[in-house]
Structure 1
């Protein structure tokens, strides 16, 4: 019983050491991977923000271009109106000059005689009023046309000023867009670089984890071989405690599964055995298959060949006779079959 407890403690220590090796291997690149993942996340956030800014500026540029187009159309309309106003002003001015020239060439006597030739006071007043109205009409029309022209010129000047502001705004937005595009390209390049570094770090981490696991498995296998040798040596030095009748001459440690016991409870499961003398197991493909000194069938790493319906193939399980590895099924739930030559 003491020997069995000692073997359990040794196996537990071996598992703890193996787990420690694997854990240390997994943490080697963890900090680097976390740092690169943070950088990737930050760069992706920056790139998303830049792209959103680009969308906003593109919309502003489109709106500005529409306003510039509308402004151009308005300038064209005002220029046409201004030209019409100038033409009307010139026509009115020409008519006014014609009348003034007529009055100058014919003298004031003509107007005076036209007034004096009136046959009645009413006709006299009408002719005086007519002459005054013509003069006032020419003056009012000319003044009104000048005001219209000046108003159109002011509108045109304001519109052209606004148009220049829009052009300046468009130039500014184009510059900002170019700067954002350059920044987006730079950020995309940085992101690609960090992603490549992250993939390399993850690959290195995975490789180190696999290497650590391999070393842990090797240590477990080595420990299993040592336990087998120790068990054989102990059984050889104490035949009365180790030999069992019907064991075929194999040295089987006491306290574990034996041919005479057939079924025992160990480590949370029942254990039974099945013999290669009955089931040769040619299809199991066990590397380095051999018979150990205790009569168990083992692989090249010293693991006892096991059958289990609870663990997947390749799982290492501690048994009453040492560490074993699952190669077969059909043991029944809650039970592990040890492959032996008993």
Structure 2
């Protein structure tokens, strides 16, 4: 009996050793962070250099051609932001997937801007401004908060509200934009937006968004609606169907820029309020690179000369652009003034 017990024990140890020797341990070795237009080498390693049959590499779920156990990735093919890299490994009678990521930063620092005040106009202090747009001589504005969310047509020089409609109190209104004679208005956490007739302010339809986190800012180019969701991503929606088509990640040469709020497309660039920072970031919509930062903190201080503002709440939010007359308008939540400003590059 003793000999049998010893034999069983030795056999168990042998099986354990054999089993451990058959375990493959993989890792993906590569630089985790780099800059745009560089190249990253990604290599699959097995801890004890055991033989494998083959490897398939994927970036963001899309297979890429490679030979052997390594691949060179051009960051210009993927743009700034975090990207998932995966390797599907085939080895004796088994397969395993190994995941990692790499992060691409902008390859240049943003230009810093100051500003000059050109004009000041009255603005309704009851307006918790979420969206702002210039159209045919008037400002169109959306305001937020449950039970207080409104869509407005506003006379610029007087701040007078000429036309207004309220949103159902269960929704918290957010950004808006005007495209093809329709007004598109987002909600914050309602996972839906609404389409209104530009002339009558009558609601005509609604649309859902499921990929983006929330509804924050809204603007458009010639073909797409462009949406922020409070993260460092900007989404492009099909103008006809309002379906989310793609997104870009917004980065400087140092970090991802999150809390992107109200949006305006100006001369082909996306201008975005950085929530609670009293600043505007200027973004290349093709790459997501932050090309400029406008520091408007002193504009908030200018506002506080005549009005007490609630910290971290009544902040800069609202960008509108009159392309015909090259006028840039900004305001804030509950601010009593609308400012026409010009941005000035700092030396």
Question: With structure 2 as the length reference, what TM-score do the two structures score?
Answer: 0.17
Question: With structure 1 as the length reference, what TM-score do the two structures score?
Answer: 0.17
Q: Specify the structure having the higher radius of gyration (Cα).
A: 1
Structure showing the higher strand proportion among its residues: 2
